[in-house]
Structure 1
């Protein structure tokens, strides 16, 4: 049994889908004009902010708990915009990411349908699916309670890990003395991917925040999809393949002493026989 107004929720999903469609179409048009499809990486986080704002506005006048709606809106927008700004500053002056350059070499047929199939359509669908807890939360009338506090705490842990990890990495790369070295300091000594671990916690936290109604349990698909992306597809797996090629033994040693995802104290360094 659910107290969520399913008709209103369905309307919200439709409006969110339309907003994402327009957002992705604009991003694609700008990327084509600039000949740089890395822009979609910058717009990944803000895409969720778009859904959060649209869902909040669409749910005005519903019986959704106002505090829950405001908290979920704020946390989603803060996370999404910080991520977009960070990637934007990181990518300045670097041109198109080699992933997109390699993909475009295999273009078949007209450009726009190809881009929709291979890049932009998939991104749009993922934004809609992963944002399900945000949409559900806008229509739940129950107060946040203990579960809400737990969700905020988990989100906060994730946001701190992601933000601090990104800051530490940017400072490390900005120092010429670290050229060619492996980042193994700060949070990066406890996990090889503090930013990805943080992302996962953010979406687990938002999922918990959506649990004001039993039906919202189905939104567990959101953190599952996000974690799968971060660990097996566009995140950890892809990055580590490149790091092994570029850093060699130094990265293998780092892998041997540092957790691949969940933070833990580093193991003792290996001693190589001379």
Structure 2
């Protein structure tokens, strides 16, 4: 069976955790620990796969460390944000409906496992190679993505914390070059973690490219950009300044492909 058995066990543990936490969240009618649970599961699965793989190669150690750093930063950031704001508008009309709420928690479990798949395979794979081009390229891309996401999040946090900016939209810092620089960073870092695993992947394992593709698809077409763009248009769509911002600032990539 090779890697399929431990991968199946990790997937089962992932879903079991999400469903158990859903039961608690549904009883309390709260989404406050939803994102923290997701990032915590990333860290748990990464470390379990590293332990089960029982390898001391620096590639696996570094990969797992990078996942941990990302998970701790994003999880704590989102948890503090929801404590400050009191709610997450994604869950309006959802937290009161246990069946729909269950679907959200289940989708989070699937997202965690699929996104982490290159790292899980890497950590469980016994086949080793010396560190090389793909490792350094992948980790460099992760660093660029991580810094982009972290800086963008902090810039928006500080902007919103200033009472003078109440009711206004951010268009400074990284947000002057991309309307969603935090999502750009997210896509880059997970693409980087796939690339850093490439030199070890074999055969069917290359299907784990679904990881960065899923992140890109969800942020572009499902739970990220579409919801925020719709909310922004509803709030500021009639303002000339916002229309100018839309015209001059790309949606995601800080390069306009329009002629």
Match of residue 255 from structure 1: 246
Aligned to 1:179: 166
CA deviation after TM superposition for structure 1 residue 69, in Å: 0.9
Q: Shift of residue 141 of structure 1?
A: 1.1
Q: 1:115 to 1:80 in 2, by over 3 A?
A: same
2:40 counterpart residue number: 46
Larger radius of gyration: 1
Question: 3-state SS of the aligned residue for 1:91?
Answer: helix
1:143 paired residue among 130, 138, 141: 130
- Cα pair 1:45 1:84 within 8 Å, conserved: yes
**Compared CA separation, residues 175 and 95, structure 1 to 2 (3 A):** closer
Alpha-carbon displacement from aligned partner over 1:105-158 (angstroms, at most 9, x marks no partner):
6x4xxx3x5433x21111111211111111111114112211100000000000
Displacement after TM superposition at 1:169 (Å):
0.6
Q: Secondary structure at the match of 1:213?
A: coil
* Contact 1:200/1:226 (<8 A) preserved: yes
* Higher mean C-alpha displacement, 225-234 vs 131-140: 131-140
Match of 1:166 in 2: 153
1:142-184: CA deviation from partner (whole Å, max 9, x where unpaired): 1221110000000000000000000111010010111111101
| SS of alignment partner, residue 79 of structure 2 | helix
2:78 corresponding residue in structure 1: 87
The structure 1 residue matched to 2:101, chosen from 115, 121, 124, is 115
State whether structure 2 residue 91 is matched by structure 1 residue 100.
Answer: yes
Secondary structure of 2:94's aligned partner: helix
Q: CA deviation at 1:264?
A: 3.7
Gaps of 5+ in 2: none
Is 2:32–2:79's contact at 8 Å kept on the other side of the alignment? no
Aligned partner of 2:202 among 190, 193, 214:
214
Conservation of the 8 A alpha-carbon contact between 1:65 and 1:142: no
Which stretches of structure 1, 4 residues or more, deviate above 6 A after TM superposition?
none
Q: Give TM-score, length-normalised by structure 1.
A: 0.85
Task: Report how many residues are paired.
Answer: 251
